[in-house]
Each structure stands twice: as C-alpha cells, then as structure tokens.
Amino acid sequence: QVQLVESGGGLVQPGGSLRLSCAASGFTFSMFVMSWYRQAPGKERELVARMSRSGGSTDYADSVKGRFTISRDNGKNTVFLQMNSLKPEDTAVYYCKAQREAWPGTIYWGQGTQVTVSS
C-alpha cells in the first residue's frame, strides 16, 4: 500500500521556520522524483520545490528561492522541506508528490499539511 505522510506543519510567526517531512512507503523511493507543492485558499496548486532521484538536482519556485531547501534521505524514504524566513503569503496546505522518472511516470500524492504564517 502506497503512502506519503506529511508532517511538521503548524502555526508560525512571520520570519519563523518550519521543517516539513514526508515519509514514503509502498514503492521504491529512490526511483521517484520528489516534490513539494502548496495550495492556498482560492488558488491553484503550485510547485514549491523538486529534487531529483539522487538529490543532485533541485528546482525552486522563484517565490521561495533562498528561503526554502528541499532534501531527501533515500535510506529513510523521506523528503524534507526546510522553510526559513516565512511570510504570510507562504500560508497554504503543503503537499508531497512522488513521480516515477521512468515510464509510466506514476504519481502519488500525500494528504497535505497546513502551514499558517501569522502574527
């Protein structure tokens, strides 16, 4: 049974930090590109950060560059998102996504974790 379980969300003041985790099971983690997406109320889901299978390549949304860092531990089947200097506009539900790099490009999503940045 495939599972992606996010954790680490919560309420934080502007300028604060949070570290999200996504624990994967039920598939070969190292074969999948891992990403974090977010969706704010009334907005479309957007890519926040993406990391290659080996961890050697990353992509970030312009809005989070220099503040967020994605990492993965293939030995523990976990991907992380370190979020620093948080802003109110970072408030959203954050989702973990796994996509198999090779055909058929199978995609799995986590259930999401709420991040609220507010004073």
Q: Which of 107, 90, 115 is nearest to 32 (CA)?
A: 107
What are the pLDDT tens digits along the chain (119 aa)?
999 999 999 999 999 999 999 999 999 999 999 999 999 999 999 999 999 999 899 999 999 999 999 999 999 999 999 999 999 999 999 999 999 988 888 999 999 999 999 99
pLDDT value at position 65?
A: 98
First to last CA, the chain: 40
What Rg value do the Cα atoms of the chain yield, rounded? 14
pLDDT value at position 105?
A: 85
pLDDT value at position 102?
A: 85
CA 18 to chain CA mean position, Å: 12
Q: How far apart are CA 112 and CA 118, in angstroms?
A: 19
Q: How far apart are CA 67 and CA 101, in angstroms?
A: 27
Strands 10-12 and 32-39: unpaired
